[in-house]
Amino acid sequence: MKRPWIVTVQLFIVVAFFASWEFGARNGVINPEWFSPPAAVVARLFNELAAGTLMAHVSTTTLETLAGFIAGVVGGVALGIVLGLMDRLREILMPYLMAIYGIPRPALAPIFVLWFGIGIFSKVMLIFSLVYFLIVIYVIAASAGS
């Protein structure tokens, strides 16, 4: 159980963080076009809730996330099993898989928008790329070890 003073200090840190952010954005220390003040974010949240548009955005994001996750898991498990059972193919492909896996995903986001457009598919592919390579590596490790 946490001591009460620890919770108080933690709460103070959170309040200080948001107060500094608000102060900085309102006084030009932080560019408000890059980091909107927390009060503006909360106001926008309530406006979206009142207008009834928030749930549409949440459902679209959920659909994109689930589609990318499911595709990444299914594809990753399939390739992982194949490579886990076929030593030579694994030796051939692993350097390429690890090189692609090592690319930072934020660097891929603009490329995916160019390749796949600005719609849902580019976001699904980005999530797919986050999941796919990780699953392939873990499945290879599991099936090669057995």
List the one residue out of 78, 80, 73, 71 whose CA is nearest residue 123. 71
User: What pLDDT was estimated at residue 18?
Assistant: 95
User: What pLDDT was estimated at residue 109?
Assistant: 86
C-beta separation of 131 from 72 below 8 A = yes
3-state class (DSSP) for residue 51: helix
Specify the length of the chain in residues: 146
Report the largest interatomic distance among the alpha carbons of the chain, rounded to a whole angstrom: 61
User: What pLDDT was estimated at residue 105?
Assistant: 82
User: What pLDDT was estimated at residue 106?
Assistant: 84
User: What pLDDT was estimated at residue 19?
Assistant: 95
* pLDDT < 70 stretches in the chain: 144-146
User: What pLDDT was estimated at residue 145?
Assistant: 62
